Amino acid sequence: MECESAKQASQIEVKRNNFFFLKNAFEVILKNKAATLGLCIILFLILISIFGKFIMPYNPYLGNLSDSLKAPSAAHLFGTDEQGRDILSRIIDGTRISLRVGVVSVAIALSLGTVFGSLAGYYGGKVDLIVMRFMDMILAFPSLLLAIAFMSALGKGIDKAIIAISIVTIPEYARIVRSCILSVRDSEYVQAAKVIGNSDSAIIFKHILPNILSPIIVRATLGISTAILETSALGFLGLGVQPPYAEWGSMLGSGRGYFFNAPYLVWFPGIAITITVLAFNLFGDGLRDALDPKFRK
C-alpha cells in the first residue's frame, strides 16, 4: 500500500511539474512578439484550411476563359489565372494542401527518424554504425535533388510528394534523437529502469523519449516550413502536386510564363509561401527559447 501511495504521489508530482513547465513555456512564447505573431498566423492558416470552403468566393477549379488574366478588382480581389479561375479561391484551397503535405510528411519522418535514432543511440555498437551510415548516405545528397529522384521513381501526386519529402528528412530526426539519447543513456533514472526489469522498448519510449522531447518538437516545427518549401519547389518544377489541385508551387510554375503581363499570378502564391514559412520559423524559434533554458534571455 505504501509503495502504491508513493507511486501515485510521484505521478501526481510529475504531472504537476509538467503543467508548470508548459505554463512557463507558454508565457515565454507570449512574451516573444515574433513567436506570438508566428503562432497567430499559423492558427489563422489552420482555420483557413478547415473553413476555407465556406469563405471561397468562387470554385477554385472552375473557370471561365472569357475572364482569363483579369487584374485584381472588386470581383476578383487577387485577379484570375490563364483559365479564368479566381486566384484568391485557389490560394485559400492551396492552404489546406500545403499544410497537409507539410504536417503529414513531418509526422512520418519524425516517427521513423525517432525509431532509427532510438535504436542507434540506445544500443550503439554495430546497430549504431549500420543505422547512422545509412542515414549519412541519404544526407550525402541534397534533399531537394533526392526528392526529385524519388518523385521520378514514384510518380506524381500529393501522396507521392508526402512520401518523397518524408524519406529525405528522416536522417535529420534520426540524428537529433540519437544525440539526445546518447546524452541521457547513462543517467540514473535509465539505470534504475533497467534494474527494476523494464524492457528496452519501455525504457526508450516511457523513460528516455519523454525527457528529450524539447529539441525534437522544435525541429519538427521548423521542419514543417522546410517541407512546405520543398513541396512548393516540386510543384514549381511540375513534379509535385498536379493540376487541378491548387498548390502554391504549381501556381507559381504555371504563372511564370505571364510574369510581365500578369505578375499577380506569381506575386500572391509567392507571398502565401513566404508568410507561411516565416510563421513556422518565427514560432519554431520562440518554441526553442521556451523549451530550452539555454536560449532563454
Q: Can you tell me the mean pLDDT for 87-109?
A: 92
Higher pLDDT, 48 or 192: 48
Q: Quick check: helix, strand or coil at residue 63?
A: coil
Domain 25-60+70-295 has CATH 3.90.550.10: no
pLDDT of the residue at 11: 47
What percent of the chain is predicted at pLDDT more than 70? 90
> Are 182 and 225 a contacting pair, CB within 8 Å?
no
Domain coordinates of the chain in residue numbers? 25-60+70-295
pLDDT of the residue at 23: 67
214 falls in which pLDDT band (50, 70, 90)?
confident
Distance CA 85, CA 262 (A): 14
Distance CA 290, CA 262 (A): 44
Of 261, 277, 279, which is closest to residue 269 (Cα–Cα)?
A: 277
Q: Note the pLDDT tens digit of each residue in 6-22.
A: 444 444 444 455 555 56
Averaged confidence pLDDT in the chain: 84
pLDDT of the residue at 294: 53
Q: Note the pLDDT tens digit of each residue in 226-283.
A: 999 998 888 888 887 777 778 898 888 888 888 888 899 999 999 999 999 999 999 9
pLDDT of the residue at 111: 93
Q: Can you tell me the mean pLDDT for 289-296?
A: 62
Partners of 86 in the beta sheet?
Answer: 80
Of 249, 280, 278, which is closest to residue 106 (Cα–Cα)?
A: 280
Higher pLDDT, 176 or 237: 176
Distance CA 84, CA 69 (A): 6
Write the CB contacts of 189 (distance below 8 Å, at least 6 apart in sequence): 207, 211
pLDDT of the residue at 41: 95
Q: What is the pTM of this model?
A: 0.84
Q: Note the pLDDT tens digit of each residue in 49-95.
A: 999 888 898 988 888 888 888 889 888 899 898 888 999 999 999 99
